[in-house]
Amino acid sequence: MSKRAIAGGVCSVVAIIGLVTTYFAEEIRTGERGLMIIGNAEGCRREPYKCPADVLTVGIGSTAAGGEVINPNKRYSDLEIAERWVNDISIAENCVNRYANGLALPQGAFEAATSITFNVGCGAMKSSTLFKYAKQGNIIAMCNQFPRWVYAGGQRLKGLELRREKERQLCLAD
């Protein structure tokens, strides 16, 4: 595959964040710091692809889990990617609000919890020790749980280690 073909399928995380903060800021609580962690960890692709878990994915980690089916033959625009991402972020935020007392969390802790929930899913997080500490208001203990979430398929992954440290730092920031 040529470099041009590869580059054509990639989109800019910064551009998508710009669209989200310009057009959809009222729809989500997660701000630029949290969006940067999620976006940089997930990457951005205009054309649907199968992720390592063999799930059809497009944009910034968007799957059909948000209720919107992915057309495998479509090339998505920046605005379509931003809209899908806002929907997916909202789902993660709703999980944090419901199971981790998200409305009472400081902004950094909320965004970090949203990031990890976006990554691993609500089902994995809702009964986690991380969410248990969040519900108790024990933010430091909550934040120190992030480094435990660095395994996928039974393997410790460097990419997850880096992401979790960024989430931990954001969690402790506010």
Which positions are catalytic?
42, 51
CA distances from 48 to 20, 34, 70, 83 (A): 20, 24, 7, 15
- Name the one residue in this structure whose structure tokens are 């940067």: 36
Helices (H), the chain: 3-9, 13-23, 32-42, 78-99, 107-120, 122-125, 129-136, 139-143, 158-173
What is the Cα–Cα distance from 150 to 73, expressed in whole angstroms?
A: 33
Q: 72: helix, coil or strand?
A: coil
